[in-house]
Structure 1
Amino acid sequence: MNAIEPLDETTLLPDGPEETRKSDKSDSVSNNQFLAALFGNANPDHRPILVSFPGNPNEVAGSAWSGKAWEKGSAKLPDANNNYFSLAVFRPDEAGIYRRLKARFVALHAVMLDDVGSKVTMERVTLPPSWLLETSKENFQAGFILKEPITNGPAADRLMEAIVTAGLCDPGANGPRTRLARLPVAVNGKYEPAFPCRMETWNPDLRYTVEDLVDGLQLDMTTTGNKRRARSPDNHERHVDGDPVWLPRPDENAVLAGLRDRGLYKGPLGDGKHDITCPWVEEHTDNRDGGTAYFEPDDNWPIGGFKCLHGHCAHRHMHALLQFLGVDAHAARMKPVIRVVPGEIHRVVDAAERGLAQSHRHYQRGGLIVTVTTDPGTHETRVQDISQPALVRALAGVATWERYDARSEAWVRTDPPSRHSGVLFDSQGYAHLPVLNGLTRQPYLRPDGSLMSRAGYDAATGIFGVFNERAFAIPDHPTRDEADEAAKLLNGLLSEFHFADDHDLAAALSAILTAVVRPSLPHAPMFHVKAHVVGSGKSYLCELITAFATPQRGTPTTFPKEDEECRKLLLAELLRAPAVIEFDNLTSDLLAHKSLCTALTAEFMTGRILGVSKTATVNTRTLFLSSGNNVGPVQDMARRCITISLDPRIETPAARSFERPDLVRDVLAERGRYVSAALTIVRAWIDAGRPKSECKGLASYGDWSNLCRQPLMWLGFADPTNATFESMDDDPDREILDRLLKAWHAEFGNTPTMVRDAIKRASCSFDPENTNSQGELKEVLHDIALERGEINRRRLGWWIKRHAGRIVNGLKFVRASGNRSAEAWKVESVVSFSPDDF
């Protein structure tokens, strides 16, 4: 950070003549011209304060913010500094020193809206500003010069607070009367490199009265001061079964009710907009009735909006409509009121949660408060957990908060107390917030097999649908013929992929069905795409499958090396409810990390989320994909993963040309059509009575097998799980256990034998009559537990214990009874049953 150089007298150099006329070029306005336009008519003894320093303002404190008074014709500040001015003028103290203090306030000459373009939309600035200054990329400060400066301090505070309450500016650090704004010739040092401020609009002749600002910006002045009288908190009215803090929102919109009562309401226009007859239609040319709308309250329009396109009503805004209808601004907000009453923290926190729930924008997920949000850059919709500071802002948006002011004997507006929001944030459970189980980007199946085709939150399933309902067309009762046609459509997408076998093609189709119905399934296996060489289409097939789960492009990640890394990654990702988690280009086998195995066979997993001092339980309804060359699932992952093998059968697969090189882009362009085809297949199988084909059962995945395996076999495709059973048979642990069981049984028969005796037998000289079995025992014990040239007895015992009871080729290890000093093991023969025997 640069050294701090507070503003001093040597920096105040002549800047040329004063000028208050509109500049020919907005970006040519000097600081002195700008200040002269705002304060040129002020008493010479009453001056604004200028603040100037280099570096990052977030890292600057102390005297650098004190500043010096402006003198007419003297405001030459370093162009590379952060340069600010006070919106008000101040009088000097007894020593003749000017300070930016509330006690020295004289008059407010202008007001300012902040973060226009980022936090405040341009549409919300409903009055043309006197100046519009770009302070960072596409982010502006909008200023309004007052016709008559406000000399009453509390009145100035009320106006500034109303602007803050309307969401048009942040509260500031030192109070309304001492507020600073940026000068036009300056930089914003928060960025690297510093952003040079640029005057976008300069209209110094545009000046406003307080009434102009209140009406034009739709400010609510009724709750910023002491106008709302109430009885003392001990005697005020109680609401909702004796709850002293919760005043529920009105049952109906008072504005709509007033419009209907006066015959002015025509009908809804959608998205909270309503077509109405203008109350002043008689003033329109030819009494023309049309082009008038009312907007329901939202974040940008706290009390709603009114717009009449006729010129005679250009000056009329929402406050005019409220005055005509006789509706109080508080009633127009359509929000509940939460009163912060001492000694009632439990009720205040409960009311805060109730307000969040009634907003229909906040949910609970795994013990955290979350919302559904869409990234403005990627357009990806995800679940976002609410941090404690963000919770304060959310609470301010869902309710009007009040505290009792003893001096004015009135309930006045206030911010949600951080203490109460902290208690809500740290709560272990939430009684009012609906549970959010996951997101879906397409219509989905309910547990009874019915199709949910409406977007939004579904209380029955806890699923939030994020999709355009009109993009999907699934028959109510699809037939077998319609299912065949849908299968041909999907099969055509896979025609240029070279699968190793028919069951690999079926597995790819099964992955597509799984991608579509995954939000409806408590469990589903992972899908792994493998090939022998690069360029075989592994990643592209995963990208195609992903397109059926979400309209957004996938963001693959590397496979974690350790379970702890895997657990942290999964918890952080699953909290967001992603459609797909993909591990791309594996360089080792798909290891059986404990947390990954849990995510694939359990509906929920629990752990501590990074950055949050809470243990969260997250839903696992996400499609898992992976890919790699000559690697695949091993150990416990073998039964949790469906492998799709690609075999182009040429030396350089990457050199191939394709008839549809933009296949994924084409699918995304017509995603509704292809997803509807997948759902048609599943729904047709359900309507046909759920016919079952003969196949082996896949443990933990019964529901998945019914919706993503059986419909394909019903249509004549191979069993998608063939590769899974082959992987289980090829499990290295199974092979070693098979060898050990046979060698142990050959050496000891059914005799209980301790581990140390088995090691001793394997290590002694060969018995000429039993060389083969003894040599095999020694070799397999070496494979399992050789360490520093010797067989580790503890490691061998742990290995046998871990595999005890597992049957391989009719043999299994069992612990012998009656041995208390050490474990003795014997191999038993068992009768194996096939699924056909049941």
Structure 2
Amino acid sequence: MRHDPGKLPEILDECEQALVEINCNLFVQSGRLVRIYPAKEGLIFGVSRPRGAITLHPVDGAHLVELLTKAAIHQRFDARAEEYKPCDCPRRVADAFLARGNWPHLNQLAGFIEAPTITPDGRVIEQPGHDEDTELFAAFEHNVRSTSPKPMPSRTDAEKAKLVLMELVDDFPVVGEEDTSAMLAGIITSLVRRILPAAPMMAITAPTPGTGKTLVAETFAIIATGRRASVLSLGHDESEAEKRMGGVLMAGDSCILLDNVERPLKGDLLCQVCTQQFVRLRPLGASGMVSIPTHALLVATGNNLSIVGDLKRRVVLIRMDAKTERPEQRTFPRDHLKTVFERRGELIRAALEIPLAYIAAGSPAIAGLHPLGGFELWDKMVRRPLVWLGMADPLKAAEALRQQDPDLETMRMLFESWRAVFPSGQATAAEVVAASLDGMMNGTVKTNPDLYDALQMVCAEKINSRRLAGWLRTHRDRIIDGMKLEQCGMDGHAKIARWKIVKCG
């Protein structure tokens, strides 16, 4: 490759072809060049990764000089000797190559997998290297490949696979059948998460430390990657937590563990990671934003884990209770994690044969099971196969979590007391406030105590029409227990919104 003046476009084309020919583990993701190789062990920027953890690393100009120098013989004309002489790839060439932002001959990378996985049509991805259809890079070892599932398993095969996975659950004091199903859902999700555009977070809770919450999360990670999970420390600052989360997403970690969460779990980025296929993030030191895949399995653990806001409908809840004061003092007949490591291949095969059997059976409809909005493919590949095998709905425990949502309880109280005070259902915010305070001005007992209590929860510090009006606008068209909040025009010359609670459904 001769670096002559005026030949830069041709040189850049030759550079790309040279990189393709040497198969240099270089990929394109979201308009940036990345490589796959092990991350440093230990705690870095609030993230602790185990030895050998594979991550994505962006390629900079200095590193690209090295790669291009390996990929081709570079020459520069020596005017004094009047001949071409060998040289390293010039840094300006590497920088120009990076600045292109488009490398059509390099493989696009959606992410990497460290165990076989399956596509929605039932194809098993089991060969190492880059899979063109899914743009996934399979980075697993031969002993894992040899445990690939049957391509068309029967229902009987799936029943046997279910029993294999349930042996793991026997090591944990789960509360109910739905929690057993939720744990199996976590195992399957860990293997198919890279295929799914969206998937709920696994939330593991128990009333007492030492129950085994982290052990469950590590089980998911070991099956999916062959290692323990990358642990993300949220800390107490929401902004810092989102920066750390953005960092692990750009690094491409397969399983992200939020361990021993002590504060209420919430946040826009957590919600986006669960429900959106990509999020817009700014790489460290860069001025522009890039679109990063979100296909990492999120797992959170905590004692009486508190999940608030919109995140409640984005979780699969796994409840455990050892029913003892010191659960960490229990004894077990085997080392759970050692068992998972030793039987990893068998567990991978069992976990994948369950959705494969469901797909092979034609993905039959299940009466009374409504899809989880925003998670349709997860519903098809994880939740429905388990229910098809006679297991409880893995979302059942999370539904109880939703019913305990204080926001929903506030809404329910206001809607019910509103309809009791205003039979027509219609009122302005000011009229509702006045009705709640009726009887207080002259020192008598409150006429509408339930409405007053509801408005105290809505308005927090002080009941007034401005706060209530803002709350009503935020919750317009919300439905709970068959009651819907609607705006029904404006009130006279004052142009004040009128609201009503109507029965629906």
SS at match of 1:379: coil
Alignment match, 1:497: 172
Following superposition of structure 1 onto structure 2, how do residues 806-825 of structure 1 map, counting pairs within 5 Å? 806-818=478-490, 822-825=495-498
Contact 2:122 2:151 in 1 (8 A): no
Task: Determine the structure 1 residue equivalent to 2:284.
Answer: 610
- Give the distance between the partners of 2:494 and 2:29, measured in 1 at CA: 50
Give the aligned partner of residue 15 of structure 2.
Answer: 352
Aligned letter for 2:282?
R
Aligned to 1:400: 73
Change (3 A) 1:447 1:720: closer
Question: Structure 1 residues 342, 763: closer, same or farther in 2, change over 3 A?
Answer: farther
Q: What are the equivalent positions in structure 2 for 1:556-595 lying under 5 Å apart?
A: 556-591=231-266, 593-595=267-269
Contact 2:436 2:447 in 1 (8 A): no
Q: Determine if contact 1:815/1:823 at 8 Å carries over to the other structure.
A: no
Report matched runs for 1:409-428 at 5 Å. 409-428=82-101
Structure 2, unaligned stretches of length 5 or more? Answer: 42-50
Taking structure 1 as reference, are residues 528 and 485 closer, same or farther at Cα in structure 2, changes over 3 Å only? same
Does the 8 A contact of 2:32 with 2:58 survive in 1?
Answer: yes
Structure 1 segments unaligned to the other structure (5+ residues)? 1-336, 833-838
- The corresponding residue for 1:183 is none
Find the partner of 2:29 among 365, 369, 374.
365
The one of 519, 525, 543 equivalent to 2:194 is 519
Q: Out of 269, 290, 297, which is 1:623 matched to? A: 297
Give the TM-score taking structure 2 as reference length.
Answer: 0.90
* 1:441 has 2:441 as partner: no
Tell me the secondary structure at the aligned position of residue 281 of structure 2.
Answer: strand
Greater relative CO, 1 or 2 (CA 8 Å, sep 6+): 2
State the distance in 2 between where 1:566 and 1:822 align: 43
Paired residues of 2:425 and 2:502 also in contact (CA < 8 A): no
Query: Aligned residue for 1:835?
Result: none
Deviations 1:109-139 (A, max 9, x none): xxxxxxxxxxxxxxxxxxxxxxxxxxxxxxx
Partner of 1:140: none
Q: Which amino acid aligns with 2:178?
A: H
Q: Could you say which residue in structure 1 is the equivalent of 2:218?
A: 543
Q: Distance in 1 between matches of 2:466 and 2:105?
A: 53
Q: Is the 8 A contact 1:530 1:645 kept in 2?
A: yes
TM-score normalized by the length of structure 1: 0.56
Query: In the aligned structure 2, how far is the partner of 1:560 from the partner of 1:798?
Result: 31
Structure 1 match to 2:3:
340
Structure 1 residue corresponding to 2:374, chosen from 700, 717, 738: 700
Instruction: Give the aligned length.
Output: 490
1:40 alignment partner in structure 2 = none
Distance in 1 of aligned mates of 2:164 and 2:221: 17
| Pairing of 1:712-731 with structure 2 (within 5 A) | 712-731=386-405
| Equivalent in 132, 145, 150 of residue 475 of structure 1 | 150
Matched-pair contact (CA < 8 Å) for 2:418–2:501: no
Which has the greater radius of gyration?
1
Question: Structure 2: how far apart are the matches of 1:587 and 1:387?
Answer: 38
CA distance in 2, matches of 1:775, 1:476: 63
- Pairs within 5 Å for 1:115-514: 337=1, 339-360=2-23, 361-375=25-39, 378-471=51-144, 472-514=147-189
Q: Secondary structure at the match of 1:685?
A: helix
Q: 3-state SS of the aligned residue for 1:384?
A: strand
CA contact (8 A) 1:581 1:622 kept: yes
C-alpha separation in 2, matches of 1:452 and 1:657: 39
* Structure 1 residues 773 and 596: alpha-carbon distance in aligned structure 2, compared to 1, 3 A threshold: farther
- The one-letter code of the counterpart of 1:371 is R
Report the residue type matching 1:356 in the other structure.
L
Alpha carbons 2:438, 2:448 under 8 Å: kept: no
Provide Cα deviations, 1:256-290, integer angstroms capped at 9, x if missing partner. xxxxxxxxxxxxxxxxxxxxxxxxxxxxxxxxxxx
Alpha-carbon shift at residue 563 of structure 1 (Å): 4.3
Deviation at 1:518, TM superposition (A): 1.4
| SS of equivalent to 1:814 | strand
Gap change, CA 1:565 and 1:822, over 3 Å in 2: farther
Q: Is 1:677–2:368 an aligned residue pair?
A: no
Structure-2 residue corresponding to 1:19 = none
Partner of 1:596: 270
CA distance in 2: counterparts of 1:624 and 1:635, whole angstroms:
17
Percent of aligned positions with the same letter in both sequences?
28
The residue aligned with 1:55 is none
Establish whether residue 640 from structure 1 lines up as the match of residue 314 from structure 2.
yes
Q: Is the 8 A contact 1:747 1:773 kept in 2?
A: no
Partner of 1:800: 472
Task: Report what 1:268 is aligned to.
Answer: none
3-state SS of paired residue (2:362) = coil
In the TM superposition, residue 363 of structure 1 has moved relative to its aligned partner by 0.7
Give 1:474 deviation, angstroms: 1.9
Residues 427/735 of structure 1: CA separation in 2 closer, same or farther (3 Å cut): farther
**Letter paired with 2:180:** L
Give the secondary structure class of the aligned counterpart of 1:475: coil
C-alpha displacement at 1:630, in angstroms? 1.1
Cα separation, 2, equivalents of 1:649 and 1:738: 33
Residue type at the aligned position of 1:578: D
- Alignment CA distance shift 1:759-1:353 (3 Å): farther
Distance 1:692 1:562, change over 3 A: farther
Residue 45 of structure 2 is matched in structure 1 by: none
Deviation digits for residues 333-384 of structure 1 (CA, Å, limit 9, x no counterpart) = xxxx3x3232343443344344334443111112221011135862222211
